[in-house]
Structure 1
Amino acid sequence: MTFVSYMPQKDGSFSLSGIFLLLVMLSHPCDSRPHTGRVFSSTAGDNHPAKKEVSAEVAAYADVAKQIIDLAVFGAAQNRSYDRLARFTDTIGNRVSGSHSLEMAIKYMYSAMTQDGLDVHLEPVKIPHWVRGKESAEMIEPRAKSLAILGLGSSVGTPPGGIQAEVMVVRSFEELKLRGSSAAGKVVVFNQPFISYGETVAYRAYGASEAAKVGAVATLIRSVTPFSINSPHTGWQDYQDGVKRIPTACITVEDAELMWRLAQRGQKIVVRLTMGAVTLPDADSFNTVAEIKGWQHPDQVVLLSGHLDSWDVGQGAMDDGGGAMISWEALSLIKDLGLRPRRTLRAVLWTAEEQGGVGAQQYYNLHKVNLTNFDLVMESDLGTFAPVALQFAGSAAAQKVMQEVVKLLAPLNTTKLEGYAEGTDISSWMRAGVPGASLHVADSRYFWFHHSEGDTMTVQDPGEMNLCSALWAVVAYVVADLEDMLPR
């Protein structure tokens, strides 16, 4: 997953960390979860006539919302999103951009959603094709030790014989600058502490270029995670124009801290790094689209989404198989109940999100001519753990409508509306003024498994996915069926 927070400051500018986040998003992962967004009050202005009118219209959907929730959580569809995800990930596995596995995943989902009775089509896109190749690393001095690594996306490879060089360990970009005169010809190891994903991911994204500026021959980045069992985490990284491209990989928290301790004692550290990474020409791929056409305004769209691609480790179950499946499941629940909203419900399974929302950006470029027909864009790419709130970005008038919509989620104990939304794949729409929504879940363990071999079905819980599916379906259906589109 690539993380984006669409959260400007009060003066309309973005914080420094927000700029970092936006830059990473534009090229890739930029991931951050600021769970400090404003929560909208659902009681302010209840006596205003317009408020009462909106409240009454939305409240009329209480019975339908309960039907959707009952079907997803207790009825025939119970555990269906989990079972679909398990079958999909067990069959296909991980699905990195440009790979044969991603091609198979798209074919699989096209067939499965067609068999489900949805209107399905594929929209062509061009996506990056980076191949990891064989890779290994070991510490030679002061003792022999194998190092678990995962090369970072877009990294160049090493020469065929690998690189063997002395290590310089630093804990920040500032320290690298201070000690830059000692970095020439060395492998720079970043042992940066984990603060938050949005802040710490800058080392993964920019570490290679910053080290290359002071003459380093490679970089090893401490994995961006708050918890590790000797597990490296991969992700996209960005070379700066005009700066020499050097190999870069992530190492485990444990190995980064080990080398830091050795360096603090003044012990010489030497590592040997071999990476066979290559970047091939962009590959042909598709965004996968399934719809329930609106009965009154078929050209107006409520868009639900998750991304189908993943990294080339684990199963991509959490990031973002779960988000893709609940977007499909939301349409299935509505179809199974014989419901058809005024506007079209469109589930889009994005491709090449991990490389910076590549498929989604091409979708936006193609469809932005119809910008005014997009009522709400929704993205689930933060995990499908127990839902906590709906995150929403939109006008004050739209916020009032959404305050009423989330009241329908009372059976799920999730009636909180938070004042921001996030998602790489919907960020262009939100910047253009289209209301956006994302799913806030109890994700305290999310970055334990993110972009690692640990992202498997074992992380997923069927009951929690039922709750996410129900929330996603209720919000999408009600907004799509209201008499008017959300105010801009």
Structure 2
Amino acid sequence: MKKNLRSLFSLFLVAGALQVQAQEEMVDEIVKEANENSKLEELAHEMVDVVGPRLVGTPQMKNAHDWAVKKYDSWGISAENQEYGTWRGWERGITHIDLVEPRVRTLSGRQLAWSPSTGKKGVTAEVVILPEAADSTAFAEMLSSVKGKFVMISVNEPTGRPPYNWEEWATEKSWKKMQESIKETDSLWRNRIQNTGYGYRELPKALEEAGAAGIVTSNWSHGFGANKVFGAYTDDIPTIDLALEDYGLLYRLAENNNAPKIKVVAQSKDLGEVPTFNTIARIEGSEKPEEYVILSAHFDSWDGGTGATDNATGTMVMMETMRILKKLYPNPKRTIIAGHWGSEEQGLNGSRAFVKDNPEIVANVQALFNQDNGTGRVKNISGQGFLHAYDYIGSWLEPVPQEIKSEIETSFPGTPSSGGTDHASFVAAGAPAFMLRSLNWSYWDYTWHTNLDTYDKIVFDDVRSNVILTAIMTYMASEDPETTSRERAVLPINRRTGEQMTWPEPRDAERKGGLD
């Protein structure tokens, strides 16, 4: 009897050693493939340079979905575009903006997403500052003054130098003076907007109805040359966004009665109602095919730049991870899905639709790994409020190379995300979904939703590091003999409200967007 027990124990030791050896060999192969045969630069060029920005409802977004399916097919991975709703179709054309009086100068700017077209001939008109009124009644009486003119509705920034530049070079007195000027200017402009009786979204429409020729904005992002570029709120007249420097030029000319005049050619096409999609790729599981490890990244972007760090980099991480795993780990224990979500930027619509439409998958998620916020290497992983997340996340991180793992901070059990990016759609439904949060790389000021979010901002060494991390954690999650626990931690008291936090509720997607 004792001899049999000793033999059995020896077999367990041998099996355990072989399993560890197999894991080590797989990790080594993943690292080697990611470093020596990387396809990241190829993916970046094709997605960012060739396909370009991926605004929901545009032909470029559909081109991106089709490109991803073909790319997966070339790797022997099945993929498809899954329609989940419709959106307002629109296609950006040429934008050209010139100051024509009192002197000639080409200005730096672009039409906002979904802006109405000027046609090929364009529109030439005087530029005026939003009328200053004591209250909404007075503003209504002044509205006729904007007829036939471009109206500037953004604050004229006192400085085009970012705060860090002032802090580095200015005297303490000068920097303090500038801070006070910024605060006062912002306050006065907020009051000016408030006194119109309209919010920022409603004001352009009111000006349009009063006969304005167009709307001029400048949504500075507090970085040299960086502007946030979002959507237009007009139906018939163009909305353009100018670089801070050129907006300031026009503002000063108008303020000093120099009667600036601009010519705007902003061509675009309204394409009516078009379908919206998620691209879903799968590597089928061999032992537990109805349990899932999901690789998550939103595929869409705003189109001021080309969406390189928001979120081509996250998309590249998941696509490259799928390629590597298909090559090195073609028969995973659990099914591995890559979800490339549409219309995240308008409210997590693609991932919310997937959660709503695929309850059987969501109920059997082993883990979801999401990457979104920029080009940096992963710095933080939270347990998202799952009580036992430490147990499995910790074990999956164990074989990750030390130079990658040592930089990652973890927080367990953490608190559940209620929005912001796509893992929150799954967390709300109770699925163990985790954000691979990365280093900043000046993301918020320079590339998040800006005109500067372009290929040259990608830090490929950091993205490669994230591929290695994601591929190893996906492999470990797939191989784990245990199914992950979904038990929720008791959530803490919200310091702001003084009330206990509650788990976020699942929400459906907007299935018909931008068409009101």
Q: Corresponding residue for 2:467?
A: 469
TM normalised by structure 1 equals: 0.70
Q: Is the 8 A contact 1:221 1:249 kept in 2?
A: yes
Change (3 A) 1:65 1:445: farther
Deviations 1:268-316 (A, max 9, x none): 5554444333432222454222222233332222211223344556544
Give the unaligned 5+ runs of structure 1. 1-59
Matched, 1:347 2:341: no
Counterpart of 2:457 in structure 1 is 459
Report if aligned partners of 1:68, 1:470 keep a CA contact under 8 Å in 2.
no
Give the secondary structure class of the aligned counterpart of 1:190. coil
| Aligned counterpart in structure 2 of residue 228 of structure 1, from 221, 224, 230 | 224
> Which 4+ residue blocks in structure 1 deviate beyond 6 angstroms?
60-65, 173-179, 192-196
Identify the residue that residue 123 of structure 2 maps to in structure 1: 162
Pair 271,319 (structure 1): closer, same or farther in 2 beyond 3 Å: same
Query: Does the residue aligned with 1:349 lie in a helix, a strand or coil?
Result: strand
1:236-251 matched pairs, under 5 angstroms: 236-237=231-232, 247-251=238-242
Indicate conservation of the 8 Å contact 2:298/2:341, yes or no.
yes
Structure 2 residue identity aligned to 1:236: G
Aligned residues: 417
Q: What residue number does 2:109 align with? A: 149
Measure the CA separation in 2 of the matches of 1:358 and 1:250.
Answer: 26
Counterpart of 1:131 (choices 91, 103, 120) is: 91
Q: 1:117 to 1:158 in 2, by over 3 A?
A: closer
1:191 alignment counterpart: 155
- Same amino acid, percent of matched pairs: 22
Identify if the C-alpha distance between structure 1 residues 76 and 312 changes in structure 2 by more than 3 Å, giving closer, same or farther.
Answer: closer
User: Displacement, 1:349?
Assistant: 1.9
Structure 2 letter corresponding to 1:349: H
Cα distance in 1 for partners of 2:429, 2:358 equals 12
From 432, 437, 455, the equivalent of 2:429 is: 432
Corresponding residue for 2:51?
92
CA distance in 2, matches of 1:480, 1:428: 21
Aligned-partner Cα distance in 1 for 2:462–2:112:
31
| Distance verdict in 2 for CA 1:255–1:223, change over 3 Å | same
Deviation at 1:254, TM superposition (A): 1.9
Find the partner of 2:408 among 405, 409, 415. Answer: 415
C-alpha spacing 1:347/1:370, structure 2 compared with 1 (3 Å) = closer
- Give the secondary-structure state (helix, strand or coil) at the position aligned to 2:363: helix
After TM superposition, give the deviation of residue 467 of structure 1 in Å: 0.3
Distance 1:128 1:478, change over 3 A: farther
What amino acid does structure 2 have at the position aligned with 1:430? V
1:400 to 1:97, Cα distance in 2 relative to 1, 3 A = same
**What residue number does 1:80 align with?**
38
**Aligned equivalents of 1:469, 1:296: Cα separation in 2:** 25
Structure of greater relative contact order (alpha carbons < 8 Å, 6+ residues apart): 1
Contact 1:148/1:252, CA 8 A, preserved across alignment: yes
Q: Secondary structure at the match of 1:225?
A: strand
Preserved contact between residue 123 and residue 263 of structure 2 (Cα < 8 Å): yes
Instruction: Check whether the contact 2:343–2:350 (CA below 8 A) recurs between aligned residues.
Output: yes
RMSD: 4.2
| Unpaired segments ≥5 residues, structure 2 | 1-17, 164-185, 194-198, 488-516
| Bigger Rg, which one | 2
1:173-218 deviation per Cα after TM superposition (whole angstroms, max 9, x unaligned)? 999979956565261331376999xxx9x99xx7342344465834
Q: Deviations over 1:344-388 (max 9, x none)?
A: 211012234445444334333321365322343332222232222
Q: How far, CA to CA, are the matches of 1:84 and 1:207 in structure 2?
A: 41
- d(CA) in 2 for partners of 1:96 and 1:449? 16
Per the alignment, residue 291 of structure 1 pairs with 282
Partners of 2:72 and 2:79 within 8 A in 1: yes
Q: Does structure 1 conserve the Cα–Cα contact (< 8 Å) formed by 2:229 and 2:241?
A: yes
